[in-house]
Structure 1
């Protein structure tokens, strides 16, 4: 399944999440998890290119390998950990980062972990002697895969290693990876870990000497080729997938924490209703966009075909097609909203069924609902209610006690849900034939002047080579004729694309407004019910609603 993530969309989602965290004392003081997300995204915004890091056991020869790749002594080397800071080196068209490694002193390793968050690809360097037995090293490598890093494993052979021994070592390493992978939730990953070997110290000497034969004997040529293929294979898709999973992982954790801190079952069920409605809105927008884009392709092909076939009165044909397309699309949207209205009705019924039965009998005034729905500044519902409206049977005192402890006015919640159910038919009725006429007139009419000019220009160009076959055959031999025909074809392509794409874009924006107006009316009504929650539950509900929106937005782009 191909991802639809783009870097800019992910950055926008990150910025929206950052604004929520900064706005919430509860989240900003919670832990350092968001700071990790922030480090990753702020670095990617500042440095969008592929970020490559060299990592491994501290004595495996990471810095020596970097020196071999650069071709000179740029990184400090030693038998004890010497890399205590982050250093960046240029290797061909790439920037390579050297960091402290596994088993380095604690302060060194902390630096490594901070930089690891930002890396897209890891060149994982090991000493092949004992690598199979060194489970900690392989565990560290597999941990990188769980963080969606791309890993290139390098055996830095400080001593001679025959081809036979190398193949045996690779197979043993593969076996060990297969044994350990399930405990990390990984499977079938051998193709994700290319392995290469070289003697980095000898390769550095060979590059300094300029001896091609010497360099080839060190394994460097094969290593460089495999590494380049590995780096080229890392696409923007891979990088964006990692960034998206970083956001989703944080959202999953923080949403789970917030949901667990809500003690009221009523509030939890309310939050589920908000989440479902938010999801339904995203799904409806996505489905509507798909319908419009499908109609866009159909419209493009028709317009192009009409031009090539010299259809009579093409201007009227295009205008009529736009109007019919709009009507079909709007009918599909209206049907979808009717279905969504029924879904919301069922969800509200389900939530009411979960609320402790209190035999609530409110005296309900529908004009109050309409006034509140129409007044965006309204902060509370006004209900006409007799003093005997709420009757509680003795066997329901336990439920009442719990409700009072939660500081929630149950009867107001019930009446608020009733308000939504009462308002739904009116909201769906508002999406009427009159609305379609207004939007259609506004959307289609803007193209009429453009269509007239475009048709005139295109048909005039066609007349250049629209003569009799004999003359046409002669003209086609001339360069001027070829160029005129090429221009005409391009005009047809441009006109067909311009009309269909602009129409689709404007319809999408118009329909999104219809969808958002429908859902916003419902969500605003639901949000008024938050006034009946305790302060903690109210803040949690508002926070969860905003987080659900980003979470669903990310999930929808993956499909």
Structure 2
């Protein structure tokens, strides 16, 4: 991994230096002239064609100042600039007053620079000595906002680079002041600091590690692995939808059962046969919904099967020899579901009403007999209130108990139904992952390395 060795070399170099400043922009906007103006002498090559094909380094007040091939330079030159941009801390972006401030690509590049967390100083080189410089700066600000660029993150200054160079060479103080180069120099000295290096180091570490991880990830059989995970997610989603549908249905039926039991008890009617019938009805509906879900899942996966390079174990869903035992188990569990009715759970509650009850007769008759006594009593109204509360309580308890039993049964039954196909896919996924274990191990090492590099170069020394 030569990129990692190169990264550490760059990090060591950056850690022991002042921030690096890169001069960038469309060629012929005055980049080289601006560098010469800052240096006070003609060191950078000036030309009307994009001849710069390398990175030139200069010293400016202890900073490293770099001249680079510009935007819209030949593609091989532009690639050099793109790579070098990653290592720089501050970008001085040069626009020309004659035309370049309207170029769309200019603002696209500035947006990318800010996304890399670089400090950006925008220099409008007033090559034409335009009188309407304020209007141009306003247009630039509008263009920045139009491209979604936060203008608060950019420092803007207008400079006449040619006049500045002449003023320094000929030592003309008035011309130097009018050129505005002194304002740019002050701006560079004021805003460029150690935090810019920290931002660059963090970006370089994360960007380089991410590229290495992406390179390794491409070596993994990602397509098949991704597809199998998608299929597994699809099955788990169908399982969730089935559970959700069954619980929604059950909640609705439970509320109806509660209301029906209350009505039956209020009217002194027995509830045993009603509950038997209702439970059988719910059982049948649950089985129907489970079968329907199997069909939906099978059809959905069958469509995906045609697009995949591997077999989905659909036989687990449609092979009757495999499915029927599961469904029979579901039916068996549902048929075993019995409400203890009056004896057992609610016996104590009802005993409190009458003292003793002949449990061979229906609960409704017992309730009627108990409360008929109160009709002759002055406390009839109080008894009726008590009866209402007790009926609501018993109805709630029966309905809630039914719901909990059905829910537990639904959870275990649905999980049994999808268990085999999920296990089959999980096994295939594990095999694929094992085949790529070396690469996955390298990726994990890279993640650890990222943390160590951040600790070493950001937290410990900067």
Relative to the length of structure 1, the TM-score reads: 0.42
The aligned residue for residue 243 of structure 1 is 204
The aligned residue for residue 10 of structure 2 is 43
> Contact conserved, 1:152 with 1:230, CA < 8 A, in 2?
no
The aligned residue for residue 43 of structure 2 is 74
Matched, 1:170 2:69: no
> Contact conserved, 1:149 with 1:242, CA < 8 A, in 2?
no
**Residues 402-481 of structure 1: matches in 2 within 5 Å?**
408=431
> Contact conserved, 1:58 with 1:102, CA < 8 A, in 2?
yes
> Contact conserved, 1:262 with 1:268, CA < 8 A, in 2?
no
Matched, 1:223 2:184: yes
Determine the C-alpha separation between the residues in 1 that align with 2:72 and 2:105.
10
SS in 2 for 1:138: helix
Aligned length: 273
Determine the C-alpha separation between the residues in 1 that align with 2:197 and 2:55.
25
> Contact conserved, 1:52 with 1:97, CA < 8 A, in 2?
yes
State the 1:244 CA deviation. 4.5
> Contact conserved, 1:44 with 1:118, CA < 8 A, in 2?
no
Name the Cα RMSD after superposition.
3.9
The aligned residue for residue 29 of structure 1 is none
Matched, 1:140 2:101: no
After superposition, the C-alpha distances for 1:331-358 in whole angstroms (9 at most, x for unaligned) are: xxxxxxxxxxxxxxxxxxxxxxxxx9x9
Determine the C-alpha separation between the residues in 1 that align with 2:445 and 2:7.
22
SS in 2 for 1:117: helix
Determine the C-alpha separation between the residues in 2 that align with 1:395 and 1:84.
63
Q: 2:60 aligns with which of 91, 116, 139?
A: 91
Cα separation, partners in 2 of 1:556 and 1:88, compared to 1, 3 Å: closer
The aligned residue for residue 157 of structure 2 is 196
State the 1:101 CA deviation. 0.5
Cα separation, partners in 2 of 1:550 and 1:196, compared to 1, 3 Å: same
Determine the C-alpha separation between the residues in 1 that align with 2:128 and 2:153.
27
State the 1:40 CA deviation. 4.9
The aligned residue for residue 123 of structure 2 is 154
Determine the C-alpha separation between the residues in 2 that align with 1:544 and 1:174.
43
The aligned residue for residue 21 of structure 2 is 52
State the 1:104 CA deviation. 1.1
Cα separation, partners in 2 of 1:219 and 1:233, compared to 1, 3 Å: farther
State the 1:234 CA deviation. 4.5
Higher radius of gyration, 1 or 2: 2
Determine the C-alpha separation between the residues in 1 that align with 2:138 and 2:21.
26
The aligned residue for residue 213 of structure 1 is 174
Matched, 1:110 2:71: no
After superposition, the C-alpha distances for 1:502-548 in whole angstroms (9 at most, x for unaligned) are: xxxxxxxxxxxxxxxxxxxxxxxxxxxxxxx7652332443344344
Structure 2 unmatched ranges of 5 or more: 231-315, 317-321, 323-415
> Contact conserved, 1:55 with 1:125, CA < 8 A, in 2?
yes
Matched, 1:543 2:442: yes
Cα separation, partners in 2 of 1:224 and 1:161, compared to 1, 3 Å: farther
Cα separation, partners in 2 of 1:400 and 1:213, compared to 1, 3 Å: closer
